[in-house]
Amino acid sequence: MTINETLAAALAAVEQWEKDQVDDSLTSPVSQIANVIDDIAVAVPANTNARLFAVPPKSETVPSVESVNTLPRQSLQIKNLDEKAVLVQVKRRMYSPYKLDTEESRAYGAGNVNKHLFEGRNNRVKEAISKYTEVYTYAKDNTVPWTTGVELLNIDHYMFFTAGLRQLIDKANDAVDDLVQHWDHEVTADLARLADIAFAKGKPNLANPNDYPDAAEVRAKFSIEVRYMPVPTTGDFRVGISDEDKDSLQRQLDDASTNASAHVLNQMIEPMQRAVNKLAVTIGDDGHIFRDSLIDNMVEVSSRMAKINISDDPEITERIKDLQSLVGTYANNKDVLRNSSTVREKAATQIDDLMSKMQGLV
């Protein structure tokens, strides 16, 4: 396919996406209600006296399609928070490769100086720490905030979440086992590294075997604990609590729901803003180079937010679907985005428009 044919195909796909958006608005619940009322009005004779079939003018009962977006958005409480989410807490403990350098701290005289053991990435200590960090990152990426150290997990996402978390924990523990098994080798290599630095800087005490714990101590410093807890409700207490305390808890639950929705939207807005900024750079100017990750990141975050979203607000759900649909179109036309200023401008405009809608919901 030539570049002209590819460009034409890409523009056709984008135009079809725009048409689908218009079609969706015309089949919205408000439009469907209007159509049903039209059908009833046609089916019932004008002289029918039955009040059940009396149909007032549409303008008095159904807002026009154009005015739907101007109506105040209401927060729908279809399910209580405890019915659609659980709390999850992931605690990790790790060996810290830093050691207080008493001699350097004394010479510095204005604070502590820490020696960085196992510097660099090409060692088993950093590999184990990296695997433990992946566990923490996964837990944060697949939940929404509740409070410090505790997250809200969509109950429908529970099986997927726990399966992925178990795999990462197993890999983290395997990395620790490998580290412990080769601990003496890693210590010897790091002492040699520090000895080279000590020789170059004339500081013979830099490499000190006493700075390193033994293998058993290292193993004890690594652990991961995962706890699942129900979301509290005002009816959870076995003894009576005051109305004031109940109201306080309810406010916390309401705030958690609001914050969870904002988190989902902000997670999508961030890569969208980066995409708009990048696509706005004219081909040939500094910083114009397009990388597939620009689109892939939006595909990934839209898919992830669809799984972790716990909001009952249909508008948030629709915005997630809109992003999935839009970036899905461009995901199949990355080469055109790389080479066509026309498609870039169109993509930047569409992403920016959708982003504005999301920002209006935060």
Give yes or no for residue 267 having a pLDDT over 90. yes
pLDDT at residue 243 in the model: 66
Shared domain for 160 and 222, answered yes or no, is: yes
Residue 235 lies in a domain: no
| Per-residue pLDDT tens digits for 215-233 | 999 999 999 999 999 998 7
Q: Which amino acid is at 236?
A: D
Which is more confidently placed, 286 or 74?
Answer: 286
Shared domain for 225 and 265, answered yes or no, is: no
- Mean pLDDT over 256-285 rounds to 94
Counting the structural domains of the chain, the total is 2
Out of 4-8, 103-107, 145-149, 315-319, give the one with best mean pLDDT.
315-319
Shared domain for 279 and 177, answered yes or no, is: no
Shared domain for 166 and 218, answered yes or no, is: yes
The separation between CA 306 and the C-alpha centre of its own chain, rounded to angstroms, equals 10
pLDDT at residue 15 in the model: 62
Select from 176, 207, 230 the last residue of a domain. Answer: 230
Tokens of 31: 């439009």
- Mean pLDDT over 266-281 rounds to 95
Shared domain for 273 and 218, answered yes or no, is: no
Dihedral angle of Cα 308, 14, 269, 147, to the nearest 10 degrees: 0
Residue 59 lies in a domain: no
Residue 48 lies in a domain: no
Q: Which amino acid is at 114?
A: N
Shared domain for 218 and 137, answered yes or no, is: yes
Length of the chain: 362
Nearest to 353 by CA among 262, 276, 297: 276
Neighbour-count burial of 261, counting CB atoms closer than 10 A to its CB (0-12 exposed, 13-18 middle, 19+ buried): buried
pLDDT at residue 50 in the model: 33
Shared domain for 90 and 226, answered yes or no, is: yes
Select from 214, 230, 246 the last residue of a domain. Answer: 230
Which is more confidently placed, 284 or 265?
Answer: 265
E strand or H helix that includes residue 95: none
Shared domain for 201 and 288, answered yes or no, is: no
Distance CA 343, CA 345 (A): 5
Residue 10 lies in a domain: no
pLDDT at residue 21 in the model: 60
pLDDT at residue 58 in the model: 39
| Per-residue pLDDT tens digits for 10-63 | 556 656 666 666 555 544 443 443 343 233 233 333 333 333 223 334 344 444
Shared domain for 152 and 223, answered yes or no, is: yes
Residue 145 lies in a domain: yes
Identify the domain containing residue 266 by its residue range: 261-359
Shared domain for 91 and 183, answered yes or no, is: yes
Give yes or no for residue 342 having a pLDDT over 80. yes
Residue 242 lies in a domain: no
Shared domain for 104 and 209, answered yes or no, is: yes
Residue 104 lies in a domain: yes
Q: Which amino acid is at 265?
A: L
pTM for the model? 0.73
| Per-residue pLDDT tens digits for 193-205 | 999 999 998 887 8
CB 246 within 8 A of CB 234: yes
Dihedral angle of Cα 331, 336, 342, 343, to the nearest 10 degrees: -10
Shared domain for 225 and 352, answered yes or no, is: no
Chain mean pLDDT for the chain: 81
